Homo-oligomer: A and B are copies of this chain.
Amino acid sequence: MKKILVLGAGRSTPFLIHYLLEHAAAEDWSVTVGDREREQAENLLGGHPRGRAIRFEVDRLDEHRGELAAADVVVNLLPPNFQPIIAHYCLEQRRSMVSASYRNHRIGELEAEASRRGLLLLTEVGLDPGIDLMSAMELIDRIHADGGVVETFASYGSGVPAPESATAPIRYAVTWNPRNVVMAGENGAQYLRDGTVKILPWHRMFQETWTVEVDGIGPMEAYPNRDSLVYRDSFGLREAHTLVRGTLRYPGWGEVWQQLVRLGLPNEQFTIPGLKERSFRELVEIFLPDDGGSCRSVEARVAGFLHLSPTGHIMDTLRWLGLFSDQRIGGADETPAAALGELLKSRLVLPEGGRDMIILQHQLGVRYPEQGDRRERITSTFVAKGEPGGMTAMARSVGLPLALAVRLLLRGELTVTGCPLPTEPQIYRPLLEQMAAEGVEFKEKVESL
């Protein structure tokens, strides 16, 4: 019997564990799930005979050495900052590790040792990063093999409500950690457009959006995401004069969210004493300039300060969100960002029986020099929707590549060692093949230009 140890029982695990247990008998697996909250792990296992829940604490790793040593493979779903320490212990106990988080720069230091010991420390095998990287790399490798030159490359990711579930005025729902929405863009973005490097700071990010058409869904709104220049190396795209990675939202998100960024509300730097007991209106007032003691309402002052129509759509949406309400903030942390997270969680919910939706889309402009400089635009799109009222598309899309990587490893069909990204053909080929068998497939559209 092969033993799988899953660390963390958070939002990204339900599908992964479901899948592993479903195949446990056929593959002769046992699945141990470790979490700081043992009950949370137990709930996910639902009493399955091949499942076992344990209490697992990162600051007591020394005591958990036995569990690591007993496992055949470790799936690490703990918060990203623990990646290096978990990888270190896996190496020590001679166990391979897979993870859905971005590869920490300190993982590279373990490369030589992992290879020497024949181990694989595989990161970025979730949805984004994960499926996005593998599908893009497969496409680019195919184009290069055909003699094509990738002149422009744009890659978008998105987790939003499915169209019929996007009922909130702002057409968004929080189905994941709200912090990711609240602090999105905080470090700005860098990308390449027409051969020119562009940098967009946070306070301009949501006002310089553009439209991206998604087949079957309609127009979406994009804003750039982190450092797109890394694609030059990770995808071998030195030739491209345009490189953009972006996030998609339904149109209209940016013009509303931009106002909160202008005010400065998404802020994790400062703790406001007694914030839990204050109202959202009081929170907003903290970010308004002094008013010289006039009696204008917070709402009127926000509209004035931001030069918004007091009765227009944007102010209407902010009002609907509850930004000017007397509602007590509550929650645990007393930072403005945490308060905003509480507000979004309470207002931006999926309707009953609603479902989420995942979009990944790559748009490439390709030239074929050996075919008379023929040009084409290739659009490769993956859309997945969750089960109404059930498993989210997000959990499934993050968990499936992880589960399949585990299966390949345990079957001995993934023989790469070291600390690679899934952009290696020996990794993305078998993984994409197995994902296609599970219904995860990109639709390709090719247009001549």
Considering the complex, give the chain B residue whose CB is closest to the CB of A200: B264
Interface residues of A in 289-345 (CB under 8 A from B): 289-290, 336
Q: B residues within 8 A CB of A187?
A: 269
A201 contacts B203, C-beta separation under 8 Å: yes
Q: Can you list the 3 inter-chain pairs with the closest CB atoms, starting with the nearest? A: A201-B264, A203-B203, A190-B270
Interface residue? A23 (CB, 8 A):
no
CA distance A285 to B273 in the complex (A): 42
Contact with B along A258-282 (1 / 0, CB 8 A): 0000111001011011000000000
A286 contacts B203, C-beta separation under 8 Å: no
A binding-site residues for B, Cβ under 8 Å: 187-188, 190, 193, 196-204, 208, 227, 229, 262-264, 267, 269-270, 272-273, 285-287, 289-290, 336
B273 contacts A198, C-beta separation under 8 Å: no
Q: B residues within 8 A CB of A289?
A: 208
Q: How far is the CB of A436 from chain B (nearest CB, A)?
A: 36
In this complex, the member of A200, A269, A285 whose beta carbon has the largest number of chain B beta carbons within 10 angstroms is A269
CA distance A55 to B177 in the complex (A): 48
CA distance A196 to B202 in the complex (A): 27
**Contact among B196, B203, B262, B287 with A199 in the assembled complex (CB-CB below 8 Å):** B287
CA distance A201 to B262 in the complex (A): 8
B269 contacts A193, C-beta separation under 8 Å: no
Q: B residues within 8 A CB of A229?
A: 270, 273
Q: How far is the CB of A356 from chain B (nearest CB, A)?
A: 30
Considering the complex, give the chain B residue whose CB is closest to the CB of A229: B273
In this complex, the member of A203, A270, A287 whose beta carbon has the largest number of chain B beta carbons within 10 angstroms is A270
Considering the complex, give the chain B residue whose CB is closest to the CB of A288: B198
A227 contacts B290, C-beta separation under 8 Å: no
Other than the given A197-B272, A198-B290, A227-B270, 17 more pairs (CB < 8 A) read A187-B269, A188-B264, A188-B267, A190-B272, A193-B290, A196-B286, A197-B286, A198-B286, A198-B287, A199-B264, A199-B272, A199-B336, A201-B203, A201-B263, A201-B287, A203-B203, A227-B269
Q: How far is the CB of A281 from chain B (nearest CB, A)?
A: 13
CA distance A236 to B29 in the complex (A): 61
Q: B residues within 8 A CB of A336?
A: 199
CA distance A345 to B208 in the complex (A): 32
In this complex, the member of A263, A285, A286 whose beta carbon has the largest number of chain B beta carbons within 10 angstroms is A286
CA distance A34 to B336 in the complex (A): 43
CA distance A263 to B193 in the complex (A): 18
CA distance A208 to B200 in the complex (A): 23
CA distance A272 to B198 in the complex (A): 9
Q: How far is the CB of A87 from chain B (nearest CB, A)?
A: 22
CA distance A188 to B273 in the complex (A): 17
CA distance A187 to B264 in the complex (A): 11
Considering the complex, give the chain B residue whose CB is closest to the CB of A207: B289
A286 contacts B199, C-beta separation under 8 Å: yes
Given contacts A204-B264, A264-B188, A290-B193, contact A199 B270 (CB under 8 A): yes
A188 contacts B286, C-beta separation under 8 Å: no
Please, could you name 27 A-B residue pairs with CB atoms under 8 Å apart, sorted by A? A187-B269, A188-B264, A188-B267, A188-B269, A190-B269, A190-B270, A190-B272, A193-B290, A197-B272, A197-B286, A198-B287, A198-B290, A199-B264, A199-B267, A199-B272, A199-B336, A201-B263, A201-B264, A201-B267, A201-B287, A203-B203, A203-B264, A204-B264, A208-B289, A227-B269, A229-B270, A229-B273
CA distance A336 to B196 in the complex (A): 15
CA distance A201 to B270 in the complex (A): 11
Q: B residues within 8 A CB of A200?
A: 264, 287
Q: B residues within 8 A CB of A273?
A: 197, 229
Q: How far is the CB of A196 from chain B (nearest CB, A)?
A: 7
Q: B residues within 8 A CB of A198?
A: 286-287, 290
CA distance A203 to B193 in the complex (A): 25
Q: B residues within 8 A CB of A262?
A: 203
**Contact among B196, B267, B285 with A196 in the assembled complex (CB-CB below 8 Å):** B285
Q: How far is the CB of A335 from chain B (nearest CB, A)?
A: 10
